[in-house]
Structure 1
């Protein structure tokens, strides 16, 4: 794959931000926007992906914490689109994969946001699948084949890691940049031989495909990916109370995933428009931390003492730079400044 000009990519993000702003207002392109009443506003980006985020939305946990706020939920299909929306100043809080976050804080003009929570750790809910009958039985067998993934996503990062482990360079395969729904359409047409993608599209591919590896395996080998949640610098400056309330809602959702599994399944099924059986199966594939684990040294850490996530994000950026996906990786101190941990311990009480 050819080198990526960071300046050029940032200009593309800025241009695309206008479309993201429009999507946030109209509900087009990136997904529908749903809102509840109130005077002060919070614009939250989310993914149609099994996590505590869907419980917060479905159970209106944040609206209960902040009854005087107008909370708008905006659905996105990729981290790249979330990054564009932050550049366009159309989001306050959003779910974001660790790979697009690493990209966002890289370069001379980092996106003005900070990580404030961990939604989940990628497990079997993101995986690389090859078409049955293609003759591909392992990652090395992808040489010369067409492989789709959403570029600048955690799946893209994990795919690059899988290729390198198998002794392949990105140029050894034909990489195609497709969003999940487009991946499924290309798969059904027979245009691609394999794809690295996440749920629920992943389950559709598994029906006629063979799983070659997963983000659980790649993470165990030293390259974990996570679904993070980021908050805008503007929100940090003007309304830290809202961030605290949002964290409390997220912590409650993580606890509900354990204490009320049937209710959690029902909420996810309703949000995704799938059966309870499918929702239960999809939730089992994710790795959901307890709130206490989120704030532990093993993951996000606490104010003044960031945890291992600091190293994971730094390593992700370095890997992307080695793969020529970034001009240069940010220094660890730059990554550290992109963490917002103030008040985190108190928010879990």
Structure 2
């Protein structure tokens, strides 16, 4: 399972789709919409929504599609094979760079510790990574976190040996002692930390707001079927309320979907800050999301993860969180 985007591969797919490759047009005359999600604690509430019938209560027929590969979910949205997806702001910007037409309609969460740079025993800081081998999924948010951490320590990627691997393989390679450090996200941080003496030397908590996660929809869906998007957004907040009132049952559902024990799942809570309706409205209205998008876009370009800064027009659509009754 991977949570983050291999940019080069996605650009090829998006450009192919733009050139006329067969795909199912988003917003085609079908009552049901397909919502994608993958392995990340801030997205498992969608499983609760499905099992508790909360989509139907809000008048939307949803095919909830779980992707073992996060990258596959990004490709599916970019090519019109699903209508909506759970993905990061970084990866949304990368998709837009490739020509995709997408818009952010909801902030699920901010990563506040569940993305980590984990090093073996004997390496106690990011500075200690100089000359060492570090694995992460290339062009992904954990690659982005690694670059942020290196820059803060006065280093660049040229100061390390970077080993590009899918996140699950990277965590496994680190656990096996094949690399000195790894960039990974929960639940794969659990795997990496099974190496005796290993510890996180940098996390997303060190870079507040750098890794926001969202519900992202095609712009065609947002313009042609806004009532459906409104229903998805309303369902999210109803789901959070249900989880708050039924914590034990909700944790059982989400841990099962994650493939981890309930105890392990509980440990992810502090590393993912779920955004309330008030948090969402503030994020959209204050300009903080726009500022973060500009910072990420600039960093992607400066670090060579994108050839050009993506256009931000139409990226953020606040009307759906504004349309939810308090």
* TM score, norm. by length of structure 2: 0.85
CA distance in structure 2 between the aligned counterparts of 1:165 and 1:172, rounded to whole angstroms: 13
In 2, Cα distance between equivalents of 1:60 and 1:98 = 28
Q: 1:277 aligns with which of 263, 268, 274?
A: 263
Distance 1:238 1:287, change over 3 A: same
Structure 1 segments unaligned to the other structure (5+ residues): 1-5, 25-38
Deviation (angstroms), 1:156: 1.7
Alpha-carbon separation, structure 1, partners of 2:130 and 2:278: 43
Superposition map of 1:222-261 within 5 A:
224-261=210-247
Residue 101 (structure 2) pairs with residue 101 (structure 1) = no
CA distance in 2, matches of 1:104, 1:261: 35
Q: CA deviation at 1:155?
A: 1.5
Instruction: Give the TM-score normalised by structure 1.
Output: 0.80
SS at match of 2:267: helix
Q: Which residue of 2 aligns with 1:10?
A: 11
- Of the three residues 126, 149, 169, the one matched with 1:182 is 169
Shift of 1:137: 1.4
Is 1:264 matched up with 2:250?
A: yes
Question: Within 5 A, what are the aligned runs for 1:73-112?
Answer: 73-78=65-70, 80-106=71-97, 110-112=99-101
- Alignment of 1:192 with 2:176, yes or no, is no
* Aligned equivalents of 2:51, 2:267: Cα separation in 1: 19
Alignment check: 8 A CA contact 1:77 1:180 kept: no
2:152 maps to 165
1:265 aligns to what SS in structure 2?
Answer: helix
RMSD value, Cα: 2.6
- Give CA deviations for 1:168-191 in whole Å, capped at 9, x if unaligned: 111221222222221233223322
- Taking CA–CA contacts closer than 8 Å with sequence separation of 6 or more, which of the two structures ends up with the larger relative contact order? 2
State whether residues 93 and 229 of structure 1, in contact with CA within 8 Å, keep that contact through their aligned partners in structure 2.
yes
> Hey, what's the Cα distance between the residues in 1 that align with 2:316 and 2:47?
23
Q: Which runs of 5+ in 2 are unaligned?
A: 1-6, 25-29
Q: Distance in 1 between matches of 2:325 and 2:185?
A: 29
The answer for the alignment partner of 1:35 in structure 2 is none
Offset of residue 308 of structure 1: 0.7
